[in-house]
């Protein structure tokens, strides 16, 4: 640590992350659209209410909440309403996949 940082270190407090809450998550309006909701309902009807992620530990869990997840993400040029570009994922699989892609986009290895 250089000298100036050592001098101010005792005067700088860290932020208690238990009280510094992140801003509320806002859904992209596309995912609230009638077209998207109809597509997901049709996919669930056709494919069944199960997680399609090959890494899912509990693909047929009862009462599961499913997310329609773009295989090729929209920001990467994926087709928004193409059923072939949508995989049904449970919450944990959706979170894992989204985190992995976010890390790759930021140049981190997963």
| Residue 51 burial by Cβ neighbours in a 10 Å radius (0-12, 13-18, 19+) | buried
Tell which wins on pLDDT, 102 or 97: 97
Q: Is the pLDDT of residue 72 over 70?
A: yes
Query: Model-level pTM?
Result: 0.72
Cα 60 from Cα 78, distance rounded (Å): 27
Tell which wins on pLDDT, 105 or 47: 47
3-class DSSP state for residue 68? strand
Q: Is the pLDDT of residue 86 over 90?
A: yes
Residues 11-55 have pLDDT tens digits of 666 766 677 676 777 878 999 999 999 999 999 999 999 999 999
85: closest CA among 68, 99, 97, 101? 68
Q: Is the pLDDT of residue 84 over 90?
A: yes
Predicted confidence at residue 20, as pLDDT, reads 66
């Amino acid at each position: 640590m250089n000298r100036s940082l050592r001098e101010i270190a005792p005067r700088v407090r860290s932020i208690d992350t238990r009280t510094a809450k992140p801003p509320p998550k806002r859904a992209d309006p596309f995912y609230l659209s009638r077209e998207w909701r109809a597509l997901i309902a049709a996919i669930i009807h056709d494919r069944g209410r199960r997680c399609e992620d090959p890494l899912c530990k509990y693909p047929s869990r009862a009462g599961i909440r499913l997310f329609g997840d773009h295989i090729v993400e929209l920001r990467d040029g994926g087709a928004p309403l193409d059923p072939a570009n949508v995989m049904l994922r449970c919450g944990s699989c959706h979170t894992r996949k989204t985190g992995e892609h976010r890390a790759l986009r930021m140049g981190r290895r997963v």
